[in-house]
Structure 1
Amino acid sequence: MIAETVCSAVSAAGLGIAAVTAYRKRFLAAARIAAYSLVPVGLVMTGVVGWLADTAFSPTAWAGFAVLGVASALFLTTRAVERRRGGTRKERRAAARAERQEVAAPGTSAPALRPADRPAAAPRAEDDFSDIEAILKKHGI
């Protein structure tokens, strides 16, 4: 009963603000405020507010929320451990199999390797400094 009254008061206040906004010739903002103002009344009319009020004061509902929290914490923990280990067991086995195949064929040519498997060429120091010198010359330093 109290929740319905509060929702009705909030809607009435919001519609009043929308009327003032429309009076100031800001019709788009007024329509948006009116839409937000009608949401609490709609929730009361559909029974959601009554259901929420019953749920908020129910110890069984709070115990259910606690169980859901524990379940989500377990999901997040197992996912974090899985990421730290390097994926699922199936993914780790596939990676180990791929490593064994690379060791078995050490003389593979560079084009036969995937781009991710190719060793990265170390940048030469001369290239780095030539870029810096070009920038400094451009700015007259």
Structure 2
Amino acid sequence: MIPETVCSAVAAAGLGIAAVTAYRKKFLAAARIAAYALVPLGLVMTGVVGWIADTAFSPTAWAGFGVLGVAWALFAGTRAVERRRGGTRAERKQARGAQSGVVAPAASEPALGPGTGRTARPAPARGAEPADDFSDIEAILKKHGI
């Protein structure tokens, strides 16, 4: 009874605030406030608030939440230990078997076929001086006064 009264009072207060906001010619904000104010009223009318109130004050419900928490902790703990050990015994045995066998016997051939490999870079000209390599960098530096 008390939760329904509180939700109804919140809805009434919200609708009052929406009316004042609409009076100030802020219709979009007033509509948004009215929408938020109608949510608790709708929850009261559908009975959700009563169900939540009964659940919140029920020791059996809280014991059920405790059992769910313990189950979750067990799942998380066993997963953490399993990851630390490297999986289950069957998974480790399967992994060892996969390592010893050849995965792809034709893996030495290029995947894209012949002629698609990288070509060798052309060798730099042997007669070029190292000063020629930095001539454009020097021009940029001179342009900026460095």
The structural deviation recorded for 1:89 is: 5.0
Q: Which residue of 2 aligns with 1:60?
A: 60
The structural deviation recorded for 1:111 is: 4.9
Q: Which residue of 1 aligns with 2:9?
A: 9
Give the alignment's TM-score, normalised by structure 2. 0.62
Give the direction of change, closer, same or farther, for the CA distance of 1:96–1:10 in structure 2 (3 Å limit). Answer: same
Q: Which residue of 2 aligns with 1:39?
A: 39
The structural deviation recorded for 1:90 is: 5.1
Give the direction of change, closer, same or farther, for the CA distance of 1:70–1:25 in structure 2 (3 Å limit). Answer: same
CA distance, structure 1, for counterparts of residue 89 and residue 79 of structure 2 = 13
Identity, in percent, stands at 78
**Which amino acid letter does the alignment assign opposite residue 6 of structure 1?**
V
Please say which structure displays the higher CA radius of gyration.
Answer: 2
Give the alignment's TM-score, normalised by structure 1. 0.63
Q: Any gaps of 5 or more consecutive residues in structure 2?
A: 112-136
Greater than 6 Å deviation, 4+ residue runs: none
**Which amino acid letter does the alignment assign opposite residue 10 of structure 1?**
V
After superposition, the C-alpha distances for 1:18-63 in whole angstroms (9 at most, x for unaligned) are 2233333333332222111111111111111111111122111111
Which structure 2 residues correspond to residues 1-141 of structure 1 after superposition, within 5 A? 1-87=1-87, 89=89, 91-101=91-101, 109=108, 111=110
The structural deviation recorded for 1:88 is: 5.0
Give the direction of change, closer, same or farther, for the CA distance of 1:8–1:82 in structure 2 (3 Å limit). Answer: same
More helix by share: 1
The structural deviation recorded for 1:3 is: 0.8
After superposition, the C-alpha distances for 1:39-98 in whole angstroms (9 at most, x for unaligned) are 111111111111111112211111111111111111222222233334455543443222
